[in-house]
Chain A
Amino acid sequence: MSVSLDLRDKMVTQEYSKPWITDGAVSRAIAAYGSLGFETEFVGKDRLEMSGEMEIDGQQVDMYVLIDKPEVAQQCPYSDISVSMTEDLEVEDPELDLIREKLNAWQVRKEQELSDRLGADIDMEVDLGLSYDLNVEGRTLHFGGDNPYENMRRAREGVGALISKGYLIQEGGTKQGILELLEGFRSTA
Chain B
Amino acid sequence: MRWRDDNVRDLSSDLLTKGYTYSVCAEDHDKFKKLVEVRGYSVQFDATVRDPENGEAQVEMGFSLLRPMDWEGGILDYLIGAIESWRRTTENEINTVIEERVVDTVPIVIESNIAISTPQVVYRGTNPAQLEEKLTRMADKMVSRGYKLHPFERL
Which residue numbers of A lie inside 8 Å of B, CB to CB? 91, 93, 95-96, 99, 102-103, 106, 110-111, 114, 118-139, 175, 178-179, 182-183, 185-186
> Number of contact residues on B: which range applies?
35 or more
* CA distance in complex: A132, B119 (Å): 29
Partner of A128 from the list B104, B105, B114, B117 (CB cut-off 8 Å) is B114
* Structural contact, A106 and B79, CB atoms closer than 8 A: yes
* Structural contact, A121 and B122, CB atoms closer than 8 A: yes
* Structural contact, B108 and A127, CB atoms closer than 8 A: no
Do A103 and B79 contact each other (CB < 8 Å), given the known contacts A121-B123, A124-B117? yes
Q: Which of B13-21, B28-36, B49-57, B69-77 is the interface stretch?
A: B69-77
* Structural contact, B121 and A93, CB atoms closer than 8 A: no
* CA distance in complex: A122, B63 (Å): 10
B136 CB → nearest A CB, Å = 12
B59 CB → nearest A CB, Å = 14
* Structural contact, A133 and B108, CB atoms closer than 8 A: yes
* Residue of B whose beta carbon sits closest to that of A120: B121
Partner of B116 from the list A125, A138, A183, A186 (CB cut-off 8 Å) is A125
Do A96 and B104 contact each other (CB < 8 Å), given the known contacts A91-B110, A126-B116? no
Of the A-B pairs whose beta carbons lie under 8 Å apart in the complex, a sample of 22, sorted by A's number, is A102-B75, A114-B119, A118-B121, A118-B142, A119-B138, A121-B124, A122-B121, A123-B62, A125-B117, A126-B114, A126-B116, A126-B117, A129-B115, A130-B83, A130-B112, A130-B113, A134-B105, A136-B104, A139-B102, A178-B94, A179-B94, A182-B97
* Structural contact, B119 and A122, CB atoms closer than 8 A: yes
